[in-house]
Structure 1
Amino acid sequence: MAELPVLTERLVVRRFEAGDTAAFAAYRSDPEVARYQSWEHPVSEVDAARSVAAFAAADEGAPGWFQYAVALRAGGDLIGDVAVCLHNNRMQAELGFTFARAHQGRGYATEAARCVLDRVFGTGVRRVSAECDARNTASVRLLERLGFGLEGCRRGHTWIKGEWTDDLLFGLLAEDRAHAAERPDRQEIFACRPNLWVSDLTAALRFYADLLGFRVGWRWSDARSCFLDADEPTEPGTALVARDQVQIILTRTAGSHTTRLHLDVHTAAQVDRLCREWRERGADIAEPPFVRPWGMYEMRLQDPDGNVLRVSSPPAR
């Protein structure tokens, strides 16, 4: 195994150093960061220094917990840590992670954890497990992005900070990682279909379908489907055409319009999960998910310029 530190695109994954004490104490003392964790906050500088010294002296390849410090390549500031507990048999491990709130939601935890998992699986470990409080949706999403599968829920299992909590159990096998890129069920957004404005939809369909060999996926019209614009086009105003991996939405329109992007996901559950995630990050969901008249489960939101994103999947069965 290569020596630490390891550089990723934006991060440095390294051993802890004495200079990390203040930053470590700061993010571990944040009530929101500590909410679903086992330690009590605030964490004093004395306790933080003791922990950092122990982390710095630990043997990365020995059974037990090893804590990786995660810092920004630009500036070198400590922003979090990723922990791995190696089983005595050296074939199993457990994963944990903690990141400063100011650096959450930017993909840093995913980037760092993937780096650590590469090191762990590179030693011959076959399985890595993880668990989290069932209310900790951010950690659930992170584990899913890393390829972990939900294996169970222990209801009312842990008494912590004055309450009983449900624990979600996750697992990741070495062979799962090897094939993750080939598995579409691990994806969420997998396609974007641009709108192409046309003056005569019938003529456009004749060209794309009859001359270019595109198939017509659907055409729709329903008063309830109007969104943001009272004069949004009606039948025969919009249609989807597709060939091979290319999809285009043809829309008859006049005058100036903002762009509408269609983001496709595989399942209604994924639409709901994206809706929760984006709401938590402060996005204004203009229309929450529901089954539209043409049969797709869809939510809609706008970017700061007024462009409309329509996120949809087949409805739940």
Structure 2
Amino acid sequence: MAELPVWTERLVVRRFAVGDVAAFAAYRSDPEVARYQSWEAPVSEVDAARLVAGFAAAEEGAPGWFQYAVERDGVLIGDIGICLHDNRMQAGLGFTVARPYQGQGYGTEAVRCVLDRVFGTGVRRVSADCDARNTASAKLLDRLGFRREGRRVQHTWAKGEWTDDLLFGLLAGDRPSRADEPAIYACRPNVVVRDLSASLRFYRDLLGFQVGWRWSDPAGRFLAEDDPDEPGTALVFRDRAHLILTQVAGAHPTRLHLDVNTTAQLDDLFDQWSRRGATIAEPPSVRPWGMYEMRLHDPDGTVLRISAHPN
């Protein structure tokens, strides 16, 4: 599984961090947000800090709950929980979106991103349930292809009343096609730097970027075998700007990373571009860092890496 964070068209899906406590406490304290959820509002900052610390320390892909933070333009706007069964083949789903960001498709976008990751690990089934009066959540699950599997009448005692539960399930093989979505949805320039540590300090400490990940394993380099040695690669982001920084000795051509929704779309691009005469330096394959990628060069030597999460 590729490292977090993950970028969708408008969002960043990432781990929780200490700096999320205030925003997390704020939206979870909103009575309208908490209305059909299991917790009681308000949520104190002490309780929020305890929860966020647990989220940040959890291991993604381990049995039990893992909570993803959902960010829009540098602001925490919600969270998505996945509860992986001990057999690692089925999971439960929960999600929350802050009220100012509801009704704009952010929940659907973020949950789809998380489902991509979960099903990409071999999970066969994801289940969800919601209060029968929570029509917004039910519609979100409908949009993502979940099947309505039943209604448990007066099954849950919550906040002083008995409530009906709607039951949903989604099998990996039943996910709706995304062939009608645009293939390339983001471009991340790769900036060649002399000193990766100094560049990270500049972007993080002076410009306020966050560090998404660092990669130093020679077996998983983003360069080709005949490229210069690469002591390290990192991704930094702020708002909707994402830069990959790569430390390389000497001159090196510009590189761009183009993100594609699905492996099928990437294969289609490979077929199209090959037929039109483009020289593909590296055909599509799963790389050591978990991405399905191909590599080609433009006439000036710019390196294009086209990437999709394996699905």
Sort the TM-score into its range (normalised by shorter chain): 0.5 to 0.7
For residue 13 of structure 1, give the secondary structure of its aligned residue in structure 2. Answer: strand
Q: Which runs of 5+ in 1 are unaligned?
A: 183-317
User: Letter of the aligned partner of 1:135 in structure 2?
Assistant: R
Pairwise CA distance, 1:36: 0.4
Equivalence for 2:51: 51
**Is residue 2:128 matched to residue 1:139?**
no
User: Letter of the aligned partner of 1:46 in structure 2?
Assistant: V
**Is residue 2:4 matched to residue 1:4?**
yes
User: Letter of the aligned partner of 1:147 in structure 2?
Assistant: G
Q: Does 1 or 2 have the higher relative contact order (CA < 8 Å, sep 6+)?
A: 2
User: Letter of the aligned partner of 2:129 in structure 1?
Assistant: E
For residue 107 of structure 2, give the secondary structure of its aligned residue in structure 1. Answer: helix
Equivalence for 2:119: 121
For residue 21 of structure 1, give the secondary structure of its aligned residue in structure 2. Answer: helix
Pairwise CA distance, 1:181: 5.2
Pairwise CA distance, 1:32: 0.3
| In 2, Cα distance between equivalents of 1:164 and 1:20 | 33
User: Letter of the aligned partner of 2:3 in structure 1?
Assistant: E
Question: Matches of residues 77-92 of structure 1 in structure 2 within 5 Å?
Answer: 77-92=75-90
**Is residue 2:60 matched to residue 1:38?**
no
User: Letter of the aligned partner of 1:31 in structure 2?
Assistant: P
TM-score of the aligned structures, taking structure 2 as reference length: 0.57
User: Letter of the aligned partner of 2:104 in structure 1?
Assistant: R
Cα distance per residue 1:288-314 (max 9 Å; x no partner): xxxxxxxxxxxxxxxxxxxxxxxxxxx
Equivalence for 1:95: 93
Please report the RMSD computed on the Cα atoms of aligned residues, expressed in angstroms: 1.3
Cα distance per residue 1:254-300 (max 9 Å; x no partner): xxxxxxxxxxxxxxxxxxxxxxxxxxxxxxxxxxxxxxxxxxxxxxx
| In 1, Cα distance between equivalents of 2:66 and 2:39 | 17
User: Letter of the aligned partner of 1:164 in structure 2?
Assistant: W
Q: Tell me the matched-pair count.
A: 180
Give identity over the alignment, percent: 79
For residue 4 of structure 1, give the secondary structure of its aligned residue in structure 2. Answer: coil
User: Letter of the aligned partner of 1:24 in structure 2?
Assistant: F
**Is residue 2:146 matched to residue 1:148?**
yes
Q: Which has the larger radius of gyration?
A: 1
For residue 119 of structure 1, give the secondary structure of its aligned residue in structure 2. Answer: helix
Pairwise CA distance, 1:146: 0.9
User: Letter of the aligned partner of 1:131 in structure 2?
Assistant: D
For residue 40 of structure 1, give the secondary structure of its aligned residue in structure 2. Answer: coil
Cα distance per residue 1:219-244 (max 9 Å; x no partner): xxxxxxxxxxxxxxxxxxxxxxxxxx
| In 1, Cα distance between equivalents of 2:70 and 2:112 | 12
| In 2, Cα distance between equivalents of 1:5 and 1:137 | 30
Q: Which runs of 5+ in 2 are unaligned?
A: 180-311
Pairwise CA distance, 1:160: 0.7
Equivalence for 1:25: 25
| In 2, Cα distance between equivalents of 1:160 and 1:11 | 32
For residue 37 of structure 1, give the secondary structure of its aligned residue in structure 2. Answer: coil
